[in-house]
Amino acid sequence: MAESSRGGSLTFGQVVIGPPGSGKTTYCHAMREFLGRLGRRVAVVNLDPANEALPCPCALDIGELVTLEDVMANLGLGPNGGLLYCMDYLAANADWLRQRLQGLRGHYVLFDCPGQVELYTHHQALKDVFAQLAKWNFRLAAVHLVDSHYCTDPGKFISVLCTSLSTMLHVELPHVNVLSKMDLIEQYGKLAFNLDYYTEVLDLSYLVDHLASDPFFRNFRRLNEKLVEVIEDYSLVSFVPLNVQDKQSMRQVVQAVDKANGYSFGDQEQRSLEALMSAAVGADFHFSSTLAVQEKYVQSQDKAVEEEVMDL
């Protein structure tokens, strides 16, 4: 906790967003345990009305206000329309949310959000909820999870970059993009480039050239070039690799998020000089983590090649 310039107490936390299957709920569970070991009082808030199987206890559940199942049954809506209605209903009942959040003052809050991409690219409801949270002295960073398997398909990776950029511009929160499930990346196939090419989003012209070798994508070269130009003109998108089973990987994500929402620079924890320096040096702090993942990935690829040779 810290004191704001308006005299109210600040509550720090994360809004965990991303497409379905990217690992948002798993991330919240792992981050809750990790931060708990660091001595933080952590509370998880479930804002996904379709999330019925929660792996960890939630301090607040949107299911107490509205559920997707009830909306679909009573209004005759499908899953997508029902979820949009639920978010509109939450935004219209902000007082309910504020009252329930009062009891979480003094906690570090993780908001587990729905997995519908439209909510973060052009729909207004969740954006309004995040704006309300800011007015209530919540200092939040958006943690946007993307499944790392998209790196193995250049076409899908360009799509992910566009979605990430659109999300960053729409949500209007300090933003950290995360490549999740890095422990599974060797199962997805061979990468066209080193991992740091994808995490740092380096010169994307190489990606366009690689796509041009595919007969299907060759016809869309001009389109891909224009999409890449948009991404590079903004120069906003980069990723932090994450393996929730790896403490060092979790630490790198925490450092990125703490820098984004300002937690690193508060007086609510005693921090070492190393931690402060890590927050001050910019994007370089997770470079070693990327190298470690890349080394593990290369080793797995080499082992697979050796096994193929032995089989011959």
pLDDT number for residue 85: 97
pLDDT band for position 294 (cuts 50, 70, 90): low
Token digits of residue 311? 């089989």
Whether the pLDDT of residue 202 is over 50: the answer is: yes
For residue range 219-228, what is the model confidence (pLDDT) as tens digits? 888 998 999 9
* pTM across the whole model: 0.83
The 10s digit of each residue's pLDDT in 13-59 is 999 999 988 999 999 999 999 999 989 999 999 999 988 777 778 99
Q: Is the pLDDT of residue 291 over 70?
A: no
Residue range 140-189, pLDDT digits in tens: 999 999 998 888 888 889 999 999 999 999 999 999 999 998 888 777 77
The torsion region of residue 245 among left (phi > 0), alpha (psi -120 to 50) and beta comes to alpha
Confidence of residue 235 (pLDDT cuts 50, 70, 90): confident
Cβ-contact 241, 290 below 8 angstroms: yes
pLDDT at 137: 94
Residue 9, φ and ψ in degrees, nearest 5: -80, 145
Going by the DSSP 8-state scheme, the letter that residue 56 receives in this structure is S
Mean pLDDT, residues 254-283:
65
The pLDDT of residue 285 is 44
The two tokens of residue 253 are 């994500």
Domains of the chain: 16-204+237-306 (3.40.50.300)
- Phi and psi at residue 183, to the nearest 5°: -70, -15
Say if residues 240 and 253 touch (Cβ distance below 8 Å): yes
pLDDT at residue 274, rounded to an integer:
52
Judged against a pLDDT cut of 80, whether residue 207 lies above it is answered with: yes
The conformation of residue 40, written as its DSSP 8-state character, comes to: -
d(CA 273, CA 260): 18
The model's pLDDT over 58-112, given as tens digits with 9 standing for 90+, comes to: 999 999 999 999 999 999 999 999 999 999 999 999 999 999 999 998 999 999 9
The number of beta carbons lying within 10 Å of the beta carbon of residue 203 is 10
Q: What tokens appear for 112 in the block?
A: 């587990």
Q: In this structure, are residues 146 and 179 in contact, taking their beta carbons and an 8 Å threshold?
A: yes
- Of 50-59, 95-104, 234-243, 283-292, the poorest mean pLDDT is in 283-292
pLDDT class of 312 with cuts at 50, 70, 90: low
Write down the pLDDT at residue 276: 46
Whether residue 305 contacts residue 311, with contact meaning beta carbons closer than 8 Å, is answered with no
Would you place residue 4 in the very low, low, confident or very high pLDDT band (cuts 50, 70, 90)? very low
**For the CA atoms of the chain, what is the radius of gyration?**
21
- Compute the C-alpha angle 18/20/24, nearest 5°: 55
